[in-house]
Each structure stands twice: as C-alpha cells, then as structure tokens.
Amino acid sequence: MSAAPEILVPGRTGQGEALVLTAPISFWGGVDPKTGRIADVRHPQHGEIISGRVLFLPGTIGSSSASAVLMELVHNGRAPAALVLHEPDAILLLGLIVAREMGWETPIAVQLARSVFETYRGGTVKVTGDGALTIAG
C-alpha cells in the first residue's frame, strides 16, 4: 500500500482534530451512536468522542451491525468529520453508502497506510473531497 490516500467512499470534505486509535474497534457496542463516545471500556481510547473528528482506524472488529451504527451516527449528526482506514471494511463502509442513498450528508472515507497515521496525531486534519489529507495550520 502506498502512503497516498485512496478514496473508499466519497463524501464531504471534513476537518477536525485527529483521533488516531491505537487498537481496532468494534462499532457495535464499542461506539455509542447517540453520543459518538467510545463506549468499550477495554478500548485504549475509551471515553473519547469520535464526532466531528478525523478518525484514524488501524482496524475494525467485525460485526454485521457496524454499518447500522455508523449510519445512525451520520443520522444523529455524531459521525466523524472523516474516516481514515488502514484496511477497507466493507461492512462498516456500507453504513456510509446507505446513509448517502438516504440523502444524508456523509463524511469521506479514505484508505491510508497505518505507518503514516502518527504524522497526524494531535493535529487538526483536513480531508478533501479528492482524498487529500493536510494538517491545518
């Protein structure tokens, strides 16, 4: 995989504080769709809010319900500003695709090598519609 981002699901340009997860997460039971808070008490970033942030996912823990949770986050206005995945997760991304088909504004999702995630930690990151990531000054 190259260090250049690849668009997985088109969406609106998103900007927000980077939240670089240090462990994979399950959206089903791991993220509260009403608050956007990481609810899994075993997750290293338990209690962090994903809403409005650029969420860097090193991986996901599969569940066929992950797409429904992400779709609910979009519907509730609690979705991340953008999603940056190390590996595509078709089930999770289905939530964005369905939300878009429902006419809801959805964040962009891109794939990026995990080796460059740390570059963005602590910064305000912008992910444009063409998939480019920049650290906002």
Which residues participate in catalysis according to the annotation?
63
Q: How far apart are CA 42 and CA 2, in angstroms?
A: 31
H helices of 16-89, in order, are: 66-75
Distance set, CA 53 to CA 2, 63, 93, 101 (Å): 24, 23, 17, 23
Q: Cα 107 from chain centroid?
A: 8
User: Tokens 């504080």 map to which residue?
Assistant: 17
